[in-house]
Amino acid sequence: MCGIVGYVGEKNAQDFLVSGLKRLEYRGYDSAGIVTLGADGEATLVRAKGKISNLEEKLAGAKRNDTIGIGHTRWATHGEPSERNAHPHQAGPIYLVHNGIIENYKELKKALKDFDFKSETDSEVLAALIESFYGEGKYPLANAVVQALKLVKGTYGIAVVSVLKPDEIVVARSGSPLVIGIGHDETLIASDASALLGHTKQAIYLNDGEVATVTEKSVEIKTLNAEPVSAKVEEIETNLAAIQKGGYEHFLLKEIMEQPDSLTETLRGRMNLEDGVVHLGGPGLSEAELRKIKHLVIVGCGTAYHAGLLAGYYIEKFTPEITVEAVIASEYRYRQAYIPEDSVALIVSQSGETADTLACLREIKKQGVKTIGIVNAIGSTIAREVDGGTYVHVGPEISVASTKAFTSQVIAMVMFGLTIAQAKGVKSGILKPYVSEIARMPEEIRKVLDEVRGEVEKIAGKYTKYEHGIYLGRDVAYPTAMEGALKLKEISYVDANAYAFGELKHGPLALIDDRFFEMALLPDGELYDKAVSNVQEVLARGGHIIAATNVDKFDLPVETVVKITTDIELFAPILMNLVSQLFAYYMTIAKGYDVDQPRNLAKSVTVE
């Protein structure tokens, strides 16, 4: 989604703004722009549609030594991607960059009838509104910003500068993240701490309803009601290596391949293999509270939702008297669902900033239900607003398609389920197999990735001729199939859907023809024979099946088999998901599309 950067200090502002925007590229964008201010009061505004390289080309003819400026990558919401709709937006002496959505921009625009609007954006309306309170510099910029924000409905993270005061940036947030980096003789602004790495590790995370005036050497924060806020400076935990490709051609492949290590980080210090017990401190629930839990609501979007669905299947298997409902955040927030007593809500999000998931969290809290975050991004809004939580610690996930986060989210939630089961007194004989498989998963993931990577690459090249993919699975392999289909469609643009094997006869079987291939996830186990019958039904109708399986003596006459050699049983679908991840990756490479930044999508969906 959109990205914000800002710089005030002694160095060249354009340099930081461009490098910062490049760091934020992964969030998804369609245009970019920066403005810098000279001490002479001259502003240099450069904007371009498309990639940041287009912006750089334009900047080559507009080099400046200015030491203050703001920049933005835009992901279009109001108005097409174009130079005129790109940020920063100007209103008189003011320039503004904005993430989020101003919901009442039409009314505000009507009231600002004398302003000559140049774009179709809601953001320009906010710039004009701030200018209307600025009185040509008669009032401090922060005051004008506060006056304007008090009239705004919606979400925002903003950075504002004025040519009349070219030594300060005013920033504010409500629902859209903003971080202030504290450097030596420089202060930096970003919507994502990764843009600050290499410059400083000291950061202040702004909270909703706060406005900060930032200069080279100072940061003054107040609430919208003018109450002073004492800033908490925190250490940014990510390092530079974690946001680089580390020798891989794409972040996606790097993130798929680093799952053995990222899962190891998820598990670190959280299980004792000798006694087969899981220790999760983060949720902060006492044994008595854990014992009382009867219902789990798991909230997420996209991959996080699939992780919740899959974890729910597992948790229900080993925890007695508990029901689990995984829900899509964008639906749940408006469902007015009653959450039964003795429920706990798991709020799942890689970025910790997803607007719909955050809205659900707030709704659920209003009902007095305990919320536990399953979050990756440290210090993110969801992580800060939940009652307790377990970070998955997979490190930055840069590629828009989520991979390593999924694997760790599932395992982290299963571990939370295990802590409930332990507290409820479930026999260790039932829980130990789960604990012991979880402990072995990082190494098994490593082995499977090595085993199947080359093979999947070859297969994917052959399957580019199909227009549609059907992903199939039963039980725990069903949510896994959903995740595989999502991965394929979002990066390779091949239409892909998932069905529970048992649902085939109820409609989807009619689809089978030569335009379709089927990815069948066939873990060994209780329901394997039933899945085999379903495979036969597809074969009988001329299906083009790829089977991903860990069954030793697999002998079905399918078109392609990807064999996984493992002694993991319970979590075999997670290993099969590695096949789906690699398949989507190599299919996309074969088709020649942008793997890490698929069209129309953003990494972190901070608008509804």
Residues within the interface to ligand M6R (CB under 6 A): 301-304, 349-351, 354, 357, 400-402, 486, 490, 604-605
- Of 290 and 304, the one with the shorter C-beta distance to ligand M6R is 304
- Of 302 and 442, the one with the shorter C-beta distance to ligand M6R is 302
How many whole angstroms separate alpha carbon 70 and alpha carbon 199?
A: 16
Cβ at position 46, least distance to ligand M6R in Å: 30
Q: Is the bond into 88 cis (omega within 30 degrees of 0)?
A: yes
Cβ at position 376, least distance to ligand M6R in Å: 7
Residues 295 and 343: beta-carbon distance below 8 Å: yes
* Sign of the Cα pseudo-torsion (522, 525, 527, 528, in order): positive
- Of 16 and 26, the one with the shorter C-beta distance to ligand M6R is 26
- Of 129 and 400, the one with the shorter C-beta distance to ligand M6R is 400
- Of 132 and 354, the one with the shorter C-beta distance to ligand M6R is 354
Question: What DSSP state is assigned to residue 232?
Answer: P
Element (H or E) spanning 277, and its range? Answer: strand 277-278
The answer to whether 360 is a known catalytic residue is no
Question: What six digits make up the tokens of 214?
Answer: 């930032």
- Provide CB contacts within 8 A for 442, sequence distance 6+: 259, 260, 261, 263, 264, 267
DSSP string, 9-21: ESS-HHHHHHHHH
- Written as one letter, the residue type at 559 is E
CA 479-483-487 angle, to 5 degrees, is 170
* Sign of the Cα pseudo-torsion (114, 118, 119, 122, in order): negative
Place of tokens 């598990």: 267
User: Nearest residue to ligand M6R, using CB?
Assistant: 302
Cβ at position 408, least distance to ligand M6R in Å: 11
How many whole angstroms separate alpha carbon 229 and alpha carbon 231?
A: 6
- Of 293 and 301, the one with the shorter C-beta distance to ligand M6R is 301
Angle between helices 404-423 and 259-267 (to 10 degrees): 30
How many whole angstroms separate alpha carbon 304 and alpha carbon 316?
A: 18
Residues 372 and 283: beta-carbon distance below 8 Å: yes
Cβ at position 490, least distance to ligand M6R in Å: 6
DSSP string, 187-231: EEEESSGGGGTTT-SEEEEPPTTEEEEE-SS-EEEEETT--EEPP
- Of 36 and 376, the one with the shorter C-beta distance to ligand M6R is 376
Place of tokens 């509104």: 129
Cβ at position 301, least distance to ligand M6R in Å: 4
Q: Is 592 helix (H, G, I), strand (E, B) or coil?
A: coil
- Of 303 and 390, the one with the shorter C-beta distance to ligand M6R is 303
Cβ at position 344, least distance to ligand M6R in Å: 19
- Provide CB contacts within 8 A for 507, sequence distance 6+: none
Cβ at position 403, least distance to ligand M6R in Å: 7
How many whole angstroms separate alpha carbon 370 and alpha carbon 328?
A: 18
The answer to whether 2 is a known catalytic residue is yes
Cβ at position 402, least distance to ligand M6R in Å: 4
Place of tokens 């403005």: 35
| Dihedral-angle region of residue 425 (phi above 0 means left; psi in -120 to 50 means alpha; beta otherwise) | left
How many whole angstroms separate alpha carbon 283 and alpha carbon 387?
A: 8
2, 22, 254, 487: the catalytic one is 2
Cβ at position 355, least distance to ligand M6R in Å: 9
- Of 86 and 364, the one with the shorter C-beta distance to ligand M6R is 364
How many whole angstroms separate alpha carbon 411 and alpha carbon 268?
A: 12
Active site (catalytic) residues = 2, 603
